Structure 1
Amino acid sequence: MKAGSIMRAHFGAVLERTCNELRGISCLELEEVAPPREEIVSSRSFGSMVMTAAELGESISTYAARTGEKLRGQRFLCGAVHVFVQTNRFREKDEQYSNGITIPLEEPSADNRILACAALHGLAIIFRDGFKYKKAGIMLMDLQRNTQRQGVLFDAALDRARSVRAMAALDALNERFRRDTVHLGSAGLVRRWAMLLENRIPRYTTSWGGGLPKVFAR
């Protein structure tokens, strides 16, 4: 009886595959090229109910910056921006409303300003006055590698180069100091709508400043 069959008989198929892999017999197919991402999403529930288009716009601009940062970090461009809003469906006494819209871009981009502009345009279309909004967000769609940009009829290469430099400078400043040191004016300053963090669990694996267990503190 072969070694692999013995391992299967006594320990199961998983250990048999492990044994074969250690002997150089491939049991798992590996993807030579990872499949491209389909979308990037940023969405949060608000810390308090939002009723104005201005505050919704601040949140949408902030989420556009978050997704734009991820987009550039993964070297992608976005071809369309989907924006959505919704009320709290668990508050049955409140009138309910939810809606979303997709805004295509003239050409793929990873510029926070362009993403936010498209998202705010979509928000202006779907916003309805008189509702208590609990959540909003944006989704970047039609993603493509930044090395595979498709040209347009009136190609503004100079403007694109300026955009790349501007976003590189923004990312460098926010990484050196802290996130949102430099941000879009449409994202606001007070941000009353921001999600409450009092009950957030300690960030043991992601934050030195606020997440280290107290047992290590001196």
Structure 2
Amino acid sequence: QRKQRAARVFDYADFQRIWLHVWSQEQYMFSEKEVSWLLNKPYTHQSTWQDWKKISELDIHPFEKISLFDTLHYLPYNLLYKMDIASMASALEVRVPYLDHHLVEFALNVPLQFKIQGQEQKFLMKKTLEKYLPNELIYRKKWGFPAPVGDWLQQDLAYLIDKYLNEKRLKKQGLFEPNMVQNFVNLFQQGKYYHYKRVWALIVFQMWYAHYIDPNL
């Protein structure tokens, strides 16, 4: 599956916009081509493209461009946004010490060779932490903490697929191409696990649409 997913990186619609395509595939989300198929009309991530275009014109290393984009967009509009919603819903006050402005200003001015050496990222931070933590913790494989949505959709929440992504509902709504939606569902159910975010995104949209736009759908 890793090779199949990697192959999708090369299925881009426009080489000039390949960075957006790679980013969408890394996030397990829809590419511009896939959104066009879903909507049955041309589509581009226009705002994201404009944001990236400004950064891409800066005279800095490509790695620094990607890092800057993440800092200005992915961090506040995705990671911190979701963390704020989840924590507030549980009456928690979350703090992010790595975003202390003194530390951020320092990190932005650290030369790239101290951030990445070979395949090792966060090099300076890891070398600093060697004084305080065992190497098996510092240099272990990166391990995030995503919700197991794919597992849920294969088990307890599988009914949501039939409820919100069935052909009758999609045709009545008239927003998405039913065959394309079913294609994503089939790929996921046939073992292409990395499609779970696409299926989940469609379900969440349908739930929102039914609640706020058309309760009778």
Give the TM-score taking structure 1 as reference length: 0.22
Q: Which has the larger radius of gyration?
A: 1
TM-score, normalised on structure 2? 0.22
Higher relative contact order (CA 8 A, sep 6+): 1
Structure number with the higher strand fraction is 1
